[in-house]
Every structure is written in structure tokens, then in C-alpha cells.
Amino acid sequence: MNRTHLITGVAGQDGVLLARLLRSRGDHVVGTVLPGRGQPPLAPYLDGVDLVPLDIRDRDGFASLVERVRPHAVHNLAAVSSVGDSWAEPELTEAVNHTAVCDMLDVLRDVRERTGQAPCFIQASSAEIFGPAESGPVDEDTELAPANPYGEAKAGAHLAVARARSEGMAATNLVLFGHTSPLHDPRFVLRSITHQAAEVALGRRPEVTLRDPSTRRDWGAAADFVRAFAAAVDGTPDDYVIATGELHALTEMTGWALAALGLSVTPPGNSGEPPRQTDVSGVTSCAVRATEVLGWQPKIPLAEVIAGMARVDLRRLESGVEEDPSYLDEDPG
């Protein structure tokens, strides 16, 4: 169909995987990267993507970019992406994860007023908007109860998208649960597990140690999750939870990583670090609406993703090459 997609935050894990998916379908992708930071680390995976330096807090810059590119869809993946960072920088988190989203939507409203049509807007919302729900699976109607600055800002943006949709804009929230791939930010726990497993394989450490090995989360394959963005472009604008419905403990994932590298499976040790405040553990969802309306379903077993990540982290350590497009061959899907 050769449509143009604008992806903010294209140089993150999801941005890269979504851009590659859309490119593989013959679409044109323009992606924003933070200005003044030079080549983003994941740039080797972004062949064929038009990279534009833009801080999404720059409303006018976004307006001119939309004017120039005239995208069919805007996928908003740019964000202060970690809960931990959001405690350290709550104001920046609010400005990027919430205010900027309101402004982008307003730019699109303006485009619609002027031209009669606006690109659809797909927002990467987050399970963090629900906070540490007590029990049972959540869905699109679960009350918003964020418990950290990241979740608060994402909840504000979530509502801004809902408001825009109530005005007839094609604006969709994908409420993403945890998802991972070999391109996951190494500061997050799953990459930490696979990196440590690779170190064990090389004899550089005796075991994998974690802050809280008993943590259970609903995690999926990022390669699956980005398909939801592609599906949302042509689907009915709405809020959709994107999750696997399966909880796995970090202990279990550590086992997969070790097994993938031919190591004997031993339970992870405790790193002795204090548990994070208000860590969201045990929240899950079945993504019923996304399945029914968007035809989206998770396909890739998490165990295979973790195994691929462990193999890639081993290759990284052996070769000293941090990023290489061939690493994605290890990512199933």
C-alpha cells in the first residue's frame, strides 16, 4: 500500500521492531530520534528509515514534520521509558509522556480542521496506568490507579487520547504490558538476566542474581507487540490491552536463559538490593478486545524470546559488537 508512518522514538526497542515490520510490508517510515545525541545505539537496525531529530516536546517542530511528511499514521513510542527514571525525573516524565502527547493530538486536530483529515494516532500506553492491581486480570475498563510518575504521565496521555477519540479523531491507546526482545534496554530486568546468563556461560560470574527473583509479570514478545500497532492503524480506534495473559516468575525466565546456553539450570540468587517501591507485580490481562477487534494474538512463546536474547547476549560478549542486524535472526517471529 506504500503508506507513510511516523514513529516517534523510533530508536527504541519497539520503534526499531515496528519500523522493520512496516518496512517489510513496503511502507515508508519516518522516525524521530532525540536531537543532539548523535547516532542512536540501535541505528544499525534502522536501515531504510528516515531519521529526523525531534524532541516531541517541540510542538511546532512536530507540526512542521507532520506537514512535511503527511503520514498516514503517527505511532507515539517516544517516552521517558523507565519507572525508575521517572522517580528521578518526574517533571521531564510529565512533559514528555503526557504534555507532549496532548500537544501532538492538538496538532493533529488542527490538521483535521485544515484538511478535513488527520493521520491516525496510536499511543503506546502502559500497564503502569493500572498501578499495582490487587488481584485478577485487568481489562480496558479497569480503573486507572497509577502509582508512580511514569504511570501517572501515561495515564494522563491515555485520557488525552480518549478525549481526542471522543471528538471523532482516529486515536487509539495500546495498553502495553511488559514485552522484550534482544534489543531491550540492558537496564531492564530481562536483559539483565540474559546478559548475566551469558556471563555465566563465559565463566565471568558464578550465577545470575536478581533484586527480587520471585517477581511475576505478564511479559510477551516485542515482535508480537509491534504487530498490534500495525493492526491498530486499520482497526477501529479504541483502547486495547496488549498482553499475553500469562505470568512468569523471573526464576523461570532465568532457567530458560541458562538452558538456552547449555548451562545447568540453577535458581537465581538474591542480589540483596532493596525491592523497588510500588513495583507492579502479578498484574495480567487476556487482551480479549484486541483479539476480537484487531485480530491480534500473541504467537511467540516467551521462552523462545528469552532463549534468543541469551544467545545474542553471548554473541555480544564474545564479539564485542554491541549491535548488529544479524542479532535479530535470533529473535523468533
Partner 1 sequence: MKRAFITGITGQDGSYLTELLLEKGYEVHGLVRRASTMNRGRIDHIPHDAALHLHYGDLTDGVSLVNLIHDIRPDEVYNLGAQSHVKVSFEMPEYTASTDAVGTLRLLEAIRAAGIDCRFYQASTSEMFGATPPPQHENTSFYPRSPYGAAKLYSHWVTVNYREAYDLFAVSGILFNHESPRRGESFVTRKITLGVAAIKLGVTDNITLGNLEAVRDWGYAPEYVEGMWRMLQHDEPQDYVLATGVGYTVRQFCEAAFAHAGLNWEDHVNYDKQYERPTEVDALIGDPRKAREVLGWEAHTKADKLAQIMVDADIDQMTRLLKK
Binding site for partner 1 (CB under 8 A): 55, 57-60, 63-64, 67, 90-91, 94-95, 98-99, 102-103, 105-107, 109-110, 112-117, 141, 143-146, 149, 152-153, 155-156, 159-160, 162-163, 166-168
Q: How far is the CB of 74 from partner 1 (least distance, A)?
A: 16
SS (H, E, C) the chain: CCCEEEEECCCCHHHHHHHHHHHHCCCEEEEEECCCCCCCCCHHHCCCCEEEECCCCCHHHHHHHHHHHCCCEEEECCCCCCHHHHHHCHHHHHHHHHHHHHHHHHHHHHHHHHHCCCCEEEEEEEHHHHCCCCCCCCCCCCCCCCCCHHHHHHHHHHHHHHHHHHCCCCEEEEEECEEECCCCCCCCHHHHHHHHHHHHHCCCCCCCEECCCCCEEEEEEHHHHHHHHHHHHHCCCCEEEECCCCEEEHHHHHHHHHHHCCCCCCCCEECCCCCCCCCCCCCCCCCHHHHHHHCCCCCCCHHHHHHHHHHHHHHHHHHCCCCCHHHHHHCCC
Compare residues 42 and 164 and give the one whose CB is closer to partner 1: 164
Compare residues 31 and 156 and give the one whose CB is closer to partner 1: 156
Compare residues 159 and 288 and give the one whose CB is closer to partner 1: 159
Q: How far is the CB of 2 from partner 1 (least distance, A)?
A: 19
Q: How far is the CB of 30 from partner 1 (least distance, A)?
A: 17
Q: How far is the CB of 70 from partner 1 (least distance, A)?
A: 13
Q: How far is the CB of 115 from partner 1 (least distance, A)?
A: 7
Compare residues 152 and 330 and give the one whose CB is closer to partner 1: 152
Compare residues 107 and 210 and give the one whose CB is closer to partner 1: 107
